Structure 1
Amino acid sequence: MWAFLQQMSYWDWLALGVILLILEVFGAGGYLLWIGMAAAAVGVLTFILPQLSWEMQFLLFGLFAMATALYWWRRQRSAVRESDQPLLNLRGQELIGKTFQVHEAIIDGRGKIKVADGVWLVKGPESPVGTRVRVVAQEGAVLSVERDD
């Protein structure tokens, strides 16, 4: 093992970089990409400076890997931006404040309203079919409603 470490060439680093890039293809989320680039950078430096000791090569690899991982982390954080439609996947939340007609009478505090082509369970005051109600809250898959007078 020590003999291998003492005689590491740029081919070894480039091969490690290629292996990491191939593994990235299988879905590592970008992390192996940058570590593979760090290994390739050490390979290039080892080609340019063949007298680099194996200790220095590993130290450079560790520094490059941390620097590229930090770069990737900062880039990912800066890429997050606020949505112009924050309730896009929160269907029940986007219904709050809107009015609908009771589809199945609300009896004992439970009933149904029709929303577009779907039906939602609701809880609220006793109401016959056709009564207009306003959604005031969501609790899981059940909407809380009140009469819209």
Structure 2
Amino acid sequence: MLARIAAELGPWSWWVAGMILLAAELVAPGVFLVWIGLGALATGILSLLFWTLPAWSWQVQCLVFATFSLAFTLIGRKLMASRGASSDEPLLNQRTASLVGRTATLQEPIREGRGRIRLDDTWWPVTGPDLPAGTRIKVSASHGRDLTVEPF
């Protein structure tokens, strides 16, 4: 059945396949079928040019389609990676990193390198030099949930 449709459509079968793949991208988003669809459209362009040549068999067409699809996928992947998602809140999902540079008062003393501070409405475990409660400190780094502090 597919062979009959391809034979009736001739070189336009690649254009139809490309459009179907591009339409499928709308149903299943992920920006992957776009590159394969573009590969089919590029193969369709070559089919319009070479359809009458005996060397332009279905095997050659499939190899050209696979090559174009791979090339467009690699180019598309590189383009998508180079876009770089810049954000107005780069530390939005990195709460401890967003606390670096803040100052606070030690609520509990730092003993043997461990203590706690209260920033906003949260208690945070801290590491740093031994300091008494009430000392003004500055958050200098974050490691997971722990904050590294130094006297301010």
User: TM-score, with normalisation over the residues of structure 2?
Assistant: 0.66
CA distance in 1, matches of 2:78, 2:150: 47
In the alignment, what sits opposite 1:66?
Answer: 70
Taking only the aligned residue pairs, the percentage that are identical comes to 36
Amino acid aligned to 2:108: A
How many positions carry a matched residue from both structures?
Answer: 144
Counterparts in 2 of 1:27 and 1:106: CA distance versus 1, 3 Å: farther
Deviation by residue 1:5-60 (Cα, 9 ceiling, x = unmatched): 994833532343233224423133x2320211111232344345432321332232
Trace 1:102-121 onto structure 2 (pairs within 5 A): 102=106, 104-106=107-109, 108-109=111-112, 110-121=114-125
Counterparts in 2 of 1:70 and 1:147: CA distance versus 1, 3 Å: closer
In the alignment, what sits opposite 1:133?
Answer: 137
Matched, 1:21 2:1: no
Deviation by residue 1:84-123 (Cα, 9 ceiling, x = unmatched): 8765643323433432112x31364544323234332223
User: SS of the counterpart of 2:42?
Assistant: helix
Native 8 Å contact 1:111 1:122 kept in 2:
yes
Trace 1:41-120 onto structure 2 (pairs within 5 A): 41-47=42-48, 49-51=50-52, 52-80=56-84, 89-102=93-106, 104-106=107-109, 108-109=111-112, 110-120=114-124
CA distance in 1, matches of 2:127, 2:49: 73
Could you list the runs of 5+ residues in structure 1 that have no partner in the other structure?
Answer: none
CA distance in 2, matches of 1:88, 1:94: 8
CA distance in 1, matches of 2:86, 2:64: 37
User: TM-score, with normalisation over the residues of structure 1?
Assistant: 0.67
Native 8 Å contact 2:110 2:116 kept in 1:
no
Matched, 1:39 2:44: no
